[in-house]
Amino acid sequence: MKIRLFVPPGGYFAERWSKGSSMPPLGLLYIGAVLEKEGADVGIVPADVLGLKERGVASRIREERPDIVGVTSTTENRFQSFKLIRLARKAHPGALTVMGGPHASMAAEDTLAHIPELDLIVRGEGETTTLELFRAFEKAGGDRERLRPLLSGIDGISYRDTDGRVVTNPPRAPVLDLDALPFPAFHLVPFEKYNFRIEVPGRGPLQAVNIMASRGCPFDCNFCATPINWGRHVRMRSPENVVREIEEHVRERGARVIFFYDDTFNANPKRVERICDLILERKLDIFWRAEVRIDLIDRPLLEKMKRAGLFHISFGIEAGSERVRREVIHKRIELGDFHNLVGWCLELGIIPNVFFIFSHPTETWEEAQETVSIIERYRGRVEASVAVLHVYPGTPLEKTAFETGLLPRDFTWTKRYRSGIVTLPTAQGDVPLFLDKMSWAQISELLFRWSMSGGNVSLLRKAPRALRHLRSFGELRRYAIMAFVLVKLKARKLFGKQALRAS
């Protein structure tokens, strides 16, 4: 039984990967490790780093004739994932086509209802579900029709029955003992082609590796799909297991930087202390970065993290307005804790990367000023990562978008260019933006004020590509508004400086 798991040609649409570096797909690497342990002929095909376009993907499927073609998907790259599924069906009609990943998991019924070439979806954590599917397909002799009656016994999948109706099986119970999983199968991808390097101050770009040390998030931010995809119960690998994987990456891949990809690395502060102690005891010469929750960290813990190699820490405040944070986002953190953490980072020589979002439901122009004033206060001293609020499937925000009419009732995630739905595909992925109280000119001003305050993305650098890929008059109008706002801000800044010199 031959299985091939694909990352689509466009890879993952994120600003951090726009400069020639990329990150290995941990989800597929974990699934590959489990299947390999079972004895399957499993291969992972990262079409993005291999430089495979549509024709190359189709040729590879025709040549290898895998029994199962699996494709990962995010909401940003979903159209490329859909296209790959269609290519697979045409190149090898007998293959079982499977999709997983965050988008497919959160929009399973919508995807199956509109992509007839797709046989089924693996929702959520994929290791056990994909293994059971593999065993069932083996039992069915690689025949899709003989497999159909066996599907009802596999938790965590969605598929169509003989009448074409979408069937959603019960969710898969989460993997409670993450230590029982094999380490991700990095040997199944051409690791060197990822050019995964991270700049460490004073050391230059160093070889990096991504690790997920826990799964799940106990919080309930309205825009986030993580608690639904991974669960609200945070499951954690033991510190010993985490450090063993770090040691393997240092030994096998020359890793100097560890990118912890957990949603809340410090969900259990005592466990973080233990990980740091082990790194120090074993004298691992590494640097690392992680994403944390502001209200679960104190200075002594941060100091120990620094001694153990922490050099870059990310955390979200999302909005400067307390009303928006508490009543809309459901993020119950205090600005005092935020300012303390930023201050500690600056004193200890740790780079603080802060997440901000504009255009929350009911957020006013005046409330947005509270956000941008924080960005401007720390101009040049923190990394400020900013986005206009995106709507993702399955989230509380998606429900709000339907209730307010921002997404029409007949909306489907499988179609492009829906009139009245605003996206910025070149800048922030082809994902609907949540636009409520503020005008496009106001949002543009907020984005440019962030960019002028040292934002880590150059909006002007994206302009040529955005203009080359215009899809409608509405998009042209929005970019024209942004250009007008930019000129106005530049003029205001210039004349302000001249007035200051004259005085």
In tens digits, the chain (503 residues) has pLDDT values of 899 999 999 877 554 555 678 899 999 999 999 999 999 999 999 999 999 999 999 999 999 999 999 999 999 999 999 999 999 999 999 999 999 999 999 999 999 999 999 999 999 999 999 999 999 999 999 999 999 999 999 999 999 999 999 999 999 999 999 999 999 999 999 999 999 999 999 999 999 999 999 998 888 889 988 877 787 789 999 999 999 999 999 999 999 999 999 999 999 999 999 999 999 999 999 999 999 999 999 999 999 999 999 999 999 999 999 999 999 999 989 999 999 999 999 999 999 999 999 999 999 999 999 999 999 999 989 999 999 999 999 999 999 999 999 999 999 999 987 778 888 776 667 899 999 999 999 999 998 888 877 665 555 555 665 555 666 777 778 888 888 888 888 888 776 655 444 44
pLDDT at 13: 58
Contacts of range 469-472, beta carbons closer than 8 Å, 24 or more positions apart: 469/425, 469/426, 471/416, 471/417, 471/425, 472/417
124 shares a domain with 202: no
d(CA 96, CA 110): 19
201 shares a domain with 107: no
pLDDT at 463: 60
221 shares a domain with 323: yes
List the domain range (segments joined by +) for residue 254.
196-500
234 shares a domain with 154: no
pLDDT at 503: 44
Residue 409 lies in a domain: yes
Domain count, the chain: 2
d(CA 395, CA 162): 30
118 shares a domain with 59: yes
247 shares a domain with 150: no
d(CA 235, CA 181): 13
H or E element, residue 346: helix 335-348
CA atoms 486, 351, 247, 264: torsion sign: negative
- What separation, in Å, do the N-terminal and C-terminal C-alpha atoms of the chain show? 79
d(CA 503, CA 30): 64
Residue 126 belongs to domain with CATH number: 3.40.50.2300
Residue 456 lies in a domain: yes
pLDDT at 12: 73
pLDDT at 280: 98
Which of 168, 187, 214 is the last residue in one of the domains? 168
